[in-house]
Chain A
Amino acid sequence: MKKLALATALLVTPGLASAQTLTGTLKKIKETGTITLGHRESSVPFSYIDDKAKVIGYAMDICMKIVDAVKTELKMDKLEVKLVPVTSATRIPLIANGTVDLECGSTTNNVERQKQVAYTNTHFLTASAFVSKKANNLKKIDDLKGKTVVSTAGTTNIKQVVEANAARNLGMTVLPAKDHAEAFLLVELDRAAAFVMDDILLASLVASARDPSPYQLSDEAFSLPEPYGIMLRKDDAPFKALADKATSAFYRSAEGAQTYAKWFQSPIPPKGLNLNVPMNEKIKKIFSNPTDSPDPAAY
């Protein structure tokens, strides 16, 4: 809540960056003339590479809005945008060590991560579920007792699985995979009984699989819906203020809803699938009242 108040206060104070000498990320961008965006390779529809090797996605569109805001704010005619692929395991270190300025993907915003990085306004909400083969009839978390379960390294999901494993005494073998594609493959190959990941990512993986029919999502989730946020460096108030302002304006505008519809309710590359996920109540709320809170209860 404190963060919300601070963010609102900063939003209300215009032109903070230009009023004084530049620091942090804004300084770096002005000096180098480039901004580096971290993107994912297969986090459909947030940030992924399509079949024409272009990086696209819902989070990418939002990031580009922030880039436009930076360009205007710093009064630069040319701002080069560098794209760096990141994985779940590398995204936080790469933000922390300065390689990437904005991470545009499907990164969960939580209190623990905020010790290392900062987030701008939430762009989606999702809960951890799992996907498995229909034939195995695994619907609830307790069905996973004694099974081999896979999740992607560096995600909140693998941490939740590991914690649930200990708390509920499930005796699961938890395999870490390098990325979502590899994890899904392990389920496909029957090396793992289930893949635990954010439900929206699972839905898109299943939808874009060569044969979606054998798979089903679980009925039970590991957590409350948690917020996705675009990451930026910690302790960089001017840059965060700028990002918050840009995203807030974007969500409140008609363009925000249009972008959402473009990725979640229309056919998307590469296969022209329509994920058909209309805005639920919680997402409507984050569009009308943008917030960067890490607390799932706030949504």
Chain B
Amino acid sequence: MTYNWNWGIFWEMSPEATGTYLDMLLMGLRWTIATALLAWVVALFFGSIVGVMRTLPGRTVSIIASAYVEFFRNIPLLVQLFLWYFVLPELLPKTAGMWLKQLPNAPFWTGAIGVGLYMSARIAEQLRAGIKSLPRGQAMAGTALGLTTVQTYRYVLLPMAFRIIMPPLTSEALNTVKNTSVALTIGLMELTARARAMQEFSFQVFEAFTAATILYLLLNAVVVFGMRRLEKSIAVPGYIAGK
């Protein structure tokens, strides 16, 4: 029961005739990156809104934001993707549902937005922690200067809060990349899906998955490096301990 190693498999043509197996994996990597980027944008957008909402004084605002966070944090990502992909189009009126289903690259849009919303709840919590960690005097000073709430957040609180949460945001960015793999269950041919396909067509299990592993590690390194560069470039000297 020995396994037949064949590291040359990467240079062989895949049955899709669009290129070698290596090309197939790189296509998957491209989809992973694209999905992760879109998801990250979605996550930051909604996460920031909800995170701010969580720190606002109003009661209804607070409840809505809490419900949002609890919903997305307590349901597994896979189940959420199924809800968006399978359930949503059936609940909408027939034409809207059909349009959603016939959308080209539906798995990509559904996957990216699904992962994005899932991550947005986590970012909301990080942002809330970041805002809460700021000295109370900051917000009070904003009010004292006659700034409206929006202006206080925009010019005083959020700039510092985002800088404070850069390290956890880096983790969340990495999590976003990893979570794109879950979208293979709704048909997105991202990196893990391609590795699986390669394994099925060529029977070279370990070669396929090793390549995928290496690519994920590289992607990780790029994200960490990028976030660190960003952190350094936007850092306000002297404000955050240890910088």
A residues at B contact (CB < 8 Å): 89, 92-93, 96-98, 115-116, 153-154, 159, 162-163, 165-167, 173, 175-178, 189-191, 233
In the complex, which of the residues A159, A175, A189, A190 contacts B201, with contact meaning CB atoms closer than 8 Å? A159
Query: A162 with B16: in contact, given A96-B1, A233-B1 (CB under 8 Å)?
Result: yes
Chain B residues with CB under 8 Å of A173's CB are 104
Contact A97 B200 (CB under 8 A): no
Contact B17 A167 (CB under 8 A): yes
Contact B18 A191 (CB under 8 A): no
In the complex, which of the residues B1, B3, B4, B16 contacts A166, with contact meaning CB atoms closer than 8 Å? B16
Cβ-closest 3 pairs across A and B: A166-B17, A154-B200, A175-B187
Chain B stretch 128-186: residues in CB contact (< 8 A) with chain A? 185
Contact A98 B1 (CB under 8 A): yes
Chain B residues with a Cβ closer than 8 Å to the other chain, count = 26
Contact A115 B185 (CB under 8 A): no
Query: A176 with B197: in contact, given A163-B17, A233-B1 (CB under 8 Å)?
Result: yes
Chain B stretch 105-140: residues in CB contact (< 8 A) with chain A? 106-107
One digit per residue, 1 when the CB lies within 8 angstroms of any chain A CB and 0 when it does not, for chain B 73-98 equals 00000000000001001100000001
Contact A190 B1 (CB under 8 A): no
Taken together as a complex, chains A and B put the C-alpha atoms of A190 and B197 apart, in Å, by 24
Query: Please, which residue of chain B has its CB at the minimum distance from the CB of A191?
Result: B101
In the complex, which of the residues B86, B193, B203 contacts A176, with contact meaning CB atoms closer than 8 Å? B193
Number of A-B residue pairs at CB separation under 8 A: 49
B residues at A contact (CB < 8 Å): 1, 3-4, 15-18, 86, 89-90, 98, 101-102, 104, 106-107, 185, 187, 189, 193, 196-197, 200-201, 203, 205
Taken together as a complex, chains A and B put the C-alpha atoms of A153 and B187 apart, in Å, by 11
Interface of B is mostly: helix
Contact B197 A93 (CB under 8 A): no
Contact B193 A166 (CB under 8 A): no
In the complex, which of the residues A93, A115, A163 contacts B15, with contact meaning CB atoms closer than 8 Å? A163
Chain A residues with CB under 8 Å of B107's CB are 175
Contact A89 B1 (CB under 8 A): no
Chain B residues with CB under 8 Å of A96's CB are 1, 3, 203
Contact A92 B185 (CB under 8 A): no
Taken together as a complex, chains A and B put the C-alpha atoms of A96 and B199 apart, in Å, by 13
Interface of A is mostly: mixed
Taken together as a complex, chains A and B put the C-alpha atoms of A175 and B196 apart, in Å, by 13
Q: Can you report 9 residue pairs joining A to B where beta carbons are below 8 Å apart?
A: A89-B200, A92-B203, A97-B1, A115-B203, A153-B196, A162-B15, A167-B17, A176-B193, A176-B197
Taken together as a complex, chains A and B put the C-alpha atoms of A173 and B104 apart, in Å, by 9
Query: A190 with B17: in contact, given A89-B196, A175-B187 (CB under 8 Å)?
Result: no
With A153-B196, A153-B200, A178-B185 already in contact, 7 other A-B pairs whose C-beta atoms are closer than 8 Å: A89-B196, A89-B200, A93-B205, A162-B16, A166-B17, A190-B101, A190-B102
A170 to chain B, nearest CB (A): 12
B12 to chain A, nearest CB (A): 13
In the complex, which of the residues A89, A116, A162, A176 contacts B187, with contact meaning CB atoms closer than 8 Å? A176
Taken together as a complex, chains A and B put the C-alpha atoms of A255 and B107 apart, in Å, by 49
Query: A166 with B18: in contact, given A176-B193, A191-B101, A233-B1 (CB under 8 Å)?
Result: yes
Contact B101 A165 (CB under 8 A): no
Query: A153 with B197: in contact, given A115-B203, A166-B18, A190-B98 (CB under 8 Å)?
Result: yes
Taken together as a complex, chains A and B put the C-alpha atoms of A176 and B197 apart, in Å, by 9
Query: Please, which residue of chain A has its CB at the minimum distance from the CB of B90?
Result: A189
B190 to chain A, nearest CB (A): 12
Contact B106 A191 (CB under 8 A): yes
A86 to chain B, nearest CB (A): 13
Chain A residues with CB under 8 Å of B201's CB are 159
Query: Please, which residue of chain B has its CB at the minimum distance from the CB of A235?
Result: B1
B88 to chain A, nearest CB (A): 12
B82 to chain A, nearest CB (A): 11
Taken together as a complex, chains A and B put the C-alpha atoms of A92 and B199 apart, in Å, by 11
Chain B residues with CB under 8 Å of A159's CB are 15, 201
Taken together as a complex, chains A and B put the C-alpha atoms of A176 and B201 apart, in Å, by 12
Taken together as a complex, chains A and B put the C-alpha atoms of A96 and B203 apart, in Å, by 10
Contact B16 A165 (CB under 8 A): yes
Most buried by A among B3, B89, B98, B197: B197
Query: A189 with B101: in contact, given A176-B187, A176-B193 (CB under 8 Å)?
Result: yes
